[in-house]
Amino acid sequence: MTVLPKPTSNLRRWSTSAISRICTAKQPAPAEARTMPRILVVESNPKVESDRLEALSGQALGPLYAATLEGLRDDVETVVISPYDGDETPDLSGFDGIAFTGSSVEWNTDDERAAPLAAVMRAGFAAGLPTIGSCNGMQLAASVLGGSSSASPNGREDGLAGDIRLTDAGRAHPMMAGREDGYAVPCTHRDEVVRLPEGAVRLAGNGHSNVQAFAIDRDGVDFWGMQYHPEFSPSYVGRYLRLSGRIAPDVADDLEAAETDESAAARLSTTLRDQAAPRRTVELANWLARL
C-alpha cells in the first residue's frame, strides 16, 4: 500500500498502526506493462476526521479500504490519496480502478464542500476507470452523475444494515453474485441516495434505505456502489460505535463478537457465515475480479 503525499506533506499523516507500509509514490508502469491491478483508494475524510476515527477504532478509512482490497487479492497494489487534505489527482493512466471510502463529515455529497472528492470522481469517470464506492462513495456518485443524496427520514442506520433485499436487476448483476435476500452488512450512515442518476440501476434496498446498492454503466461511466460497508468487519464498526456513543453497550458487544459467536450473530439477525470476510466482502471481490 502506498500513501500518496502532496509534494510538501508529512508522511506521518497515517500512523504506523494504520498502514503496513508507507513509501513515497513511484512512477506507475504503463498499463500494458503492469502485472497486477493498481487501484487508487480515495480517503473521503479530512485528516481531523481520519485521526478521530483511528483513535476510536484503530484504523482510518483509506488504509482500511486498501488493506481489505489487498487481502482479497494477492496481486493488488493500492495507492491512498486524501483530496480534502490537498492531495492532487495522480496520473490516472497508472491505475486500473478507483475505490471511494465512506466519510463522517457533516455535509452531504450534494454540498459544494464535497467538491474535492467530486473532482477526483469526475476525473476517474472521464478516464473510463471502473469505480466502486461505499456509503458516502455511493452517494457521491449519485450527486456527481445528476442524482441526489440527503439525510434519511428514518434517521441513522448504525451497526448492521439488515434484511437487505435484491431487486430483480440485482439478482442478475455481477456485483451482487453470491448475495441472497435478507443479508446484513456493517454500516453507519446518516445520509442516503434519494434520487438515482439517469441510467442507474437499483440493485438492493431495505426498510431503512430504498437504495442500498446501485450500478451505472453508460457514456463511459462504470460505477458500482453500496450504502453499507463490506470493507468493515462487525468488530470494527462495533468499536467505533461503542466509543462514539451511538449504540448500546450490549449491541456493541454483539457486533464485536459477531464473527466468532453464533449467539451474538443471531441477536443481530445475522449469521457467522454472513459476517465472515469471504461472504461479507463479495461486492469488493466481484469488482476486483473484473480488473
Residue in the block written with cell 463529515 = 105
Mean pLDDT of 138-160: 98
Catalytic residue among 173, 189, 208, 229: 229
CATH number for the domain including 28? 3.40.50.880
Q: Which of 49, 77, 135, 173 is catalytic?
A: 135
Q: What is the pLDDT of residues 113-141, one digit of tens each?
A: 999 999 999 999 999 999 999 999 999 99
Catalytic member of 54, 70, 157, 231: 231
Distance between CA 37 and CA 260 in Å, rounded? 32
Reply yes or no on whether 23 is catalytic: no
User: 19: pLDDT confidence band, cut at 50, 70 and 90?
Assistant: very low
**Is 135 considered catalytic here?**
yes
Of 39, 41, 68, 63, the residue nearest 53 (C-alpha): 63
Alpha-carbon distance 257 to 203, whole Å?
29
Rounded alpha-carbon distances, angstroms, from residue 67 to 88, 166, 184 = 22, 28, 22
Nearest Cα neighbor of 12 from 54, 40, 74 is 54
According to the model, what pLDDT value does residue 185 have?
98
Q: Measured between alpha carbons, how far is residue 46 from residues 11, 36, 182, 183, 225 in Å?
A: 15, 29, 34, 31, 21
Asked if residue 165 is part of any domain, the answer here is: no
Please determine, for residue 273, whether its predicted confidence score (pLDDT) is greater than 80: yes
pLDDT of residue 36: 86
Grid look-up 487508487 returns 40
- 3-state class (DSSP) for residue 52: helix
Contact (CB, 8 A) for 136 and 100:
yes
- Residue 222 or 23, more confident: 222
Between 21 and 57, the more confident residue is 57
Domain count, the chain: 1
In a domain, 163, yes or no: no
pLDDT beyond 50 at 14: no
Q: Burial code of 101-114, b = ≥16 C-beta within 10 A, e = fewer?
A: bbbbbeebbbeeeb
Residues 117, 165: contact at Cβ < 8 Å? no
Question: Is residue 176 assigned to a domain?
Answer: no
Instruction: Tell me, yes or no, if 187 is annotated catalytic.
Output: no
CA distances to 30, 41, 51, 69, 186 from 48, rounded to whole Å, are 35, 18, 5, 24, 23
Is residue 70, in this structure, part of any structural domain at all? yes
Question: Phi then psi for 13, rounded to 5 degrees?
Answer: -50, -40
Residue 30 has a pLDDT of 55
Contacts of 185 by beta carbon, 8 Å cutoff, 6+ apart: 160, 161, 164, 226, 228, 229, 230, 280
d(CA 254, CA 234): 9
All cell numbers assigned to 40: 487508487
Per-residue pLDDT at 25 exceeds 90: no
Coil, helix or strand at residue 153: coil
CA distance linking residue 43 with residue 62, whole number of Å: 4
- Asked if residue 248 is part of any domain, the answer here is no
Residue 22 has pLDDT above 60, yes or no: no
Rounded distance, CA 169 to CA 201, Å? 7
**Domain assignment of residue 141, given as a range:** 2-153+189-232+281-288
Q: pLDDT tens across 245-266, in order?
A: 999 999 999 999 999 999 999 9
The single-letter DSSP state of residue 146 is T
For the cut 80, the answer to whether the pLDDT of residue 39 exceeds it is yes
- pLDDT for the residue numbered 15: 31
Q: How confident is the model at residue 9 (pLDDT cuts 50, 70, 90)?
A: very low
**Which percentage of the chain shows pLDDT scores above 90?**
86
Query: 0.85 exceeded by the pTM?
Result: yes
The answer to whether residue 87 is domain-embedded is yes
